[in-house]
Chains A and B, each alone.
Chain A
């Protein structure tokens, strides 16, 4: 039992080590984070130049939102879709399929290792900024935040798997990967908080679509802007989408194996 569990856990280690192995990856990912953060900082500074509150947010609150949104999205920036596509096209997927493990679980664990690496790098930086900003969060919200963050990670990972598998038929991952980045950046709340959207779009982007559970909801939960009922609804929404995507990707994966 422990061994069966360990054969998946080791993929977390492999994903983590694949990032830790190169100094270049650490620098590259840190610089990417910093550039995006600085860009967003000046953007919002310009927006707040003549006003002190927008959509109920002060500049300080927006700064915290921006810091957290850039950090959370940095966890998922790794181009995993292209890697599945490359494996499919080169035939290396053969080696993966021949192992007595579940490909999707293996993929999820590897992605978790990659995200965990970035989390460990960014957590001290974000904590430092929050201390400087004298930001206070309620303890229980941390617990809800991490559950929400994990839900967002799971959704992102299974979505990547689905798109990666679809590349087998599209023969090219570039278009799909670019589409996914734009979709997630806009609909997750990475670029701007989703409550800045027009009202009729808000219900769709926030409540129905799953992408809001990647960035927008975890931040709102941490900032204490949601009550327990809203938090539980967001968890349920994320869980339903994760299950739907798993069913869909399993369907395509089974078809891929039939080839």
Chain B
């Protein structure tokens, strides 16, 4: 179990004055600015939970992850992992976690991938039986066996990320921290990663904490999400609860058989329904954004087009999780 209690982190950075005179002044005197990266954050994560940690760029996600795995020390507050204080000097703790920084590789760039795998096998003291079981599990989803003899620097970004995930999981850690783990993955591989992580969580009761800007990752994987904005934890709830509580819009998409019909439909809707948020998806498809409470209006529009022979299909979708989270972080949704 992870317990984070009132954790804050402040970064101090040198202010660089512009211009040549500014650079000269910087040599003799330095001014520093302080930025609160994480501000009094507290939460608990039970063992076996998959938790998404989301927020806009610079909101403090990666800083929190680095503090959770002990790389950064909080300026105040404490973090506990299985009732023990998290510390970079605690080797037992480091053996119980696995970390993937999608933008930073853990592999030995110049050597074939197998050397990095052997290195991790030795570092984490994995015996042959465990290694065989773990590698087979990982390989059944990520299919990395064909990459083992290729130099890491010759791998594509996606292949490299797959191998990075593989080495981080090789010792089957109790808790897996994933910071942007699906960077560069195509949709098939991304799906396999999600399937693997879901199975890893379910079959072995492992905890997974993931940050990602890809909201499909979060939606497909997590039951619970925490939203951080400007260093403050603003939402910590079940993903279903967040969706039902904060959803504001519904999208109706209408797909037509001809470009002309699409254009005339846009004109018709614009002329008759001034207040509607209407946009063109492509030459054959339009989208209309309704407030969640406007069920009547949604039905009215559908009824007007449903008998149109040039209408190919229509679909009503709820607002995406990405949009809900954006509304929350932009302050467009007032939180309790």
Instruction: Answer whether A and B are interacting partners.
Output: yes
A10–B119 touching, CB < 8 Å: yes
A101–B88 touching, CB < 8 Å: no
B71–A6 touching, CB < 8 Å: no
B110–A21 touching, CB < 8 Å: yes
- Please name all residues of chain B whose beta carbon is closer than 8 Å to the beta carbon of A7 when the two chains form the complex: 122-125
A100–B95 touching, CB < 8 Å: yes
- 8 Å CB contact of B94 from A6, A22, A98: A98
CB B277 to nearest CB in A, in angstroms, measures 42
The reply on B7 being an interface residue by CB < 8 A is: no
B123–A92 touching, CB < 8 Å: no
The reply on A200 being an interface residue by CB < 8 A is: no
In whole angstroms, how far apart are the Cα atoms of A98 and B111 in the complex? 21
- Interface bits B92-115 vs A (CB < 8 Å: 1, else 0): 101101010100111010110001
In whole angstroms, how far apart are the Cα atoms of A94 and B94 in the complex? 12
In whole angstroms, how far apart are the Cα atoms of A101 and B69 in the complex? 15
Q: 8 Å CB contacts to B: which residues of A4-20?
A: 4, 6-7, 9-11, 14, 17-18
- Please name all residues of chain B whose beta carbon is closer than 8 Å to the beta carbon of A258 when the two chains form the complex: 73
- 8 Å CB contact of A99 from B89, B92, B94, B105: B94
A95–B101 touching, CB < 8 Å: yes
Greatest chain B CB density within 10 A among A21, A95, A101, A258 is at A95
A18–B108 touching, CB < 8 Å: yes
How many B residues have CB within 8 A of the partner chain? 28
Closest to B90 in A: A100
The reply on B91 being an interface residue by CB < 8 A is: yes
In whole angstroms, how far apart are the Cα atoms of A259 and B122 in the complex? 29
B111–A21 touching, CB < 8 Å: yes
A94–B89 touching, CB < 8 Å: no
- Interface bits A77-105 vs B (CB < 8 Å: 1, else 0): 00000000000001110110111110000
Contacts A94-B71, A98-B71, A257-B89: A10 and B122 contacting too (C-beta < 8 A)? yes
Closest to B127 in A: A3
Q: 8 Å CB contacts to B: which residues of A235-259?
A: 257-259
In whole angstroms, how far apart are the Cα atoms of A152 and B126 in the complex? 34
Number of A-B contacts (CB under 8 A): 63
B125–A3 touching, CB < 8 Å: yes
Closest to A94 in B: B71
In whole angstroms, how far apart are the Cα atoms of A127 and B220 in the complex? 64
- Please name all residues of chain A whose beta carbon is closer than 8 Å to the beta carbon of B72 when the two chains form the complex: 259
CB B223 to nearest CB in A, in angstroms, measures 26
- Interface bits B156-181 vs A (CB < 8 Å: 1, else 0): 00000000000000000000000000
A95–B106 touching, CB < 8 Å: yes
B95–A94 touching, CB < 8 Å: no
CB A164 to nearest CB in B, in angstroms, measures 18
A94–B123 touching, CB < 8 Å: no
A99–B123 touching, CB < 8 Å: yes
CB A254 to nearest CB in B, in angstroms, measures 9
In whole angstroms, how far apart are the Cα atoms of A98 and B123 in the complex? 11
Greatest chain B CB density within 10 A among A11, A14, A92 is at A14
A91–B104 touching, CB < 8 Å: yes
CB A73 to nearest CB in B, in angstroms, measures 24
- Please name all residues of chain B whose beta carbon is closer than 8 Å to the beta carbon of A14 when the two chains form the complex: 108, 111, 115, 119
In whole angstroms, how far apart are the Cα atoms of A109 and B315 in the complex? 62
B110–A18 touching, CB < 8 Å: yes
The reply on B66 being an interface residue by CB < 8 A is: yes
Closest to B124 in A: A100
The reply on B118 being an interface residue by CB < 8 A is: yes
- Please name all residues of chain A whose beta carbon is closer than 8 Å to the beta carbon of B108 when the two chains form the complex: 14, 18
Contacts A14-B108, A17-B115: A101 and B125 contacting too (C-beta < 8 A)? no
Greatest chain A CB density within 10 A among B95, B101, B104, B122 is at B122
* Given A3-B125, A97-B71, 9 additional A-B pairs, CB 8 A: A90-B104, A94-B101, A95-B104, A98-B69, A100-B123, A100-B124, A101-B91, A101-B123, A259-B73
List 18 contacting pairs A-B, 8 Å CB cutoff, sorted by A: A6-B122, A7-B125, A9-B122, A10-B122, A14-B115, A21-B110, A91-B104, A94-B71, A94-B101, A94-B104, A98-B71, A98-B88, A100-B94, A100-B95, A100-B123, A100-B124, A101-B91, A259-B72
**Interface positions of B (Cβ within 8 A of A):** 66, 69-73, 88-89, 91-92, 94-95, 97, 99, 101, 104-106, 108, 110-111, 115, 118-119, 122-125
**Interface positions of A (Cβ within 8 A of B):** 3-4, 6-7, 9-11, 14, 17-18, 21-22, 90-92, 94-95, 97-101, 257-259
Shortest 10 CB-CB contacts between residues of A and residues of B = A100-B94, A10-B122, A3-B125, A100-B91, A100-B95, A7-B122, A95-B106, A7-B123, A94-B71, A99-B123
